[in-house]
A and B are shown apart, each in its own frame.
Chain A
Amino acid sequence: MASSQPARKKRAAAAQLALLPMAITVLGVYIGTVLWSVRISFSSSKIFPKNDFVGFSQYERLFATERWTVSLHNIAIFGVLFILACMVLGFFLAVFLDQHVRGENVLRTIFLYPYAMSFVATGLVWQWMLNPGLGIQAAVRNLGFPEFQFDWIVNQDKVIYTLVVAAVWQASGLVMAVLLAGLRGIDESLWNAARIDGVPRWRYYLSVVLPQLGPAFGTSFVLLAVGVVKVYDVVVAMTLGGPGNASEVPAKFIMDNLFTRANVGLASAASTVMLLTVLALLVPWWYARSVQSRKLGHS
Chain B
Amino acid sequence: MSAVVERITPPVAAPVQRKAARRKSHFTPARLGLYALLVSSAAFFLLPLYVMLVTSLKPMEEIRLGQLFALPLNATFEPWVQAWSLACTGLECRGIQVGFWNSVWIVVPSTIASIFFGALNGYALSFWRVRGAGWLFGVLMFGAFVPYQVMIYPLVRTLATVNLFGTLGGIVLIHTVFGMPVMTLLFRNYYAGVPIELFKAARIDGGGFWRIFFQLMLPMSLPIIAVAVIMQVTNIWNDFLLGLVFAGRDNLPMTVQLNNVINTTTGERLYNVNMAATMLTSALPLAVYLISGRWFLRGITAGAVKG
Contacts and interface: CB of A to CB of B under 8 A. Distances in A.
Contacts of A129: 47-48, 51, 68
B295 to A, nearest CB: 12
Interface residues of A, number: 101
B290 A14 contact: no
A54 to B, nearest CB: 17
Q: Which of the four size classes fits the interface of chain B?
A: 35 or more
Interface in B43-57: 44-49, 51-52, 55
Given A116-B286, A118-B255, A118-B282, A29 B155 contact: yes
A50 B139 CA distance: 29
Given A118-B281, A118-B285, A26 B290 contact: no
B67 A142 contact: yes
Nearest to A102: B25
Interface string A225-252: 0100110110011001000000000110
A76 interface: no
B7 A37 contact: no
Given A18-B124, A96-B34, A109-B290, A117 B282 contact: yes
A30 interface: yes
Interface string B147-191: 111111111011000000000000000000100100010000000
Contact of A22 (B52, B128, B140, B153): B140
A275 interface: yes
A30 B143 contact: yes
Contacts of B262: 124, 237
A33 B130 contact: no
Interface of B: 2-3, 6-7, 11, 22-23, 25, 34-35, 37-38, 41-42, 44-49, 51-52, 55, 63-70, 117, 120-121, 123-125, 128-130, 133, 136-137, 139-140, 142-143, 145-155, 157-158, 177, 180, 184, 203-204, 206, 208-210, 213, 234, 237-241, 245, 255, 258-259, 262-263, 271, 274-275, 278, 281-282, 285-286, 288-290, 293, 296-297, 300-301, 304-306
Nearest to A201: B3
B153 A258 contact: yes
B208 to A, nearest CB: 6
Contacts of A125: 48, 51-52, 275, 278
A272 B150 contact: yes
27 contacts: A2-B204, A11-B209, A19-B121, A21-B120, A21-B180, A22-B136, A22-B140, A26-B136, A89-B41, A101-B34, A107-B38, A110-B45, A112-B296, A116-B286, A125-B51, A128-B275, A129-B48, A142-B67, A195-B11, A219-B305, A223-B304, A232-B241, A233-B241, A237-B262, A251-B149, A258-B153, A278-B146
B123 to A, nearest CB: 8
A124 B278 contact: yes
Interface core residue of B64, B70, B137, B152 (most chain A CB under 10 Å): B152
Given A22-B121, A139-B67, A118 B3 contact: no
B22 A100 contact: yes
Contact of A268 (B153, B184, B234, B271): B153
A102 B117 CA distance: 42
Given A22-B136, A219-B305, A264 B153 contact: yes
B296 A134 contact: no
Interface stretch (A56-64, A153-161, A173-181, A206-214): A173-181
Contacts of B67: 138-139, 142
Given A19-B124, A126-B48, 7 more contacts: A11-B209, A18-B120, A22-B137, A36-B154, A118-B237, A125-B52, A129-B51
Contact of B293 (A15, A109, A120): A109
Contact of A274 (B55, B66, B147, B263): B147
Interface in A1-56: 2-3, 10-12, 14-16, 18-19, 21-23, 25-26, 29-34, 36-37, 40, 49
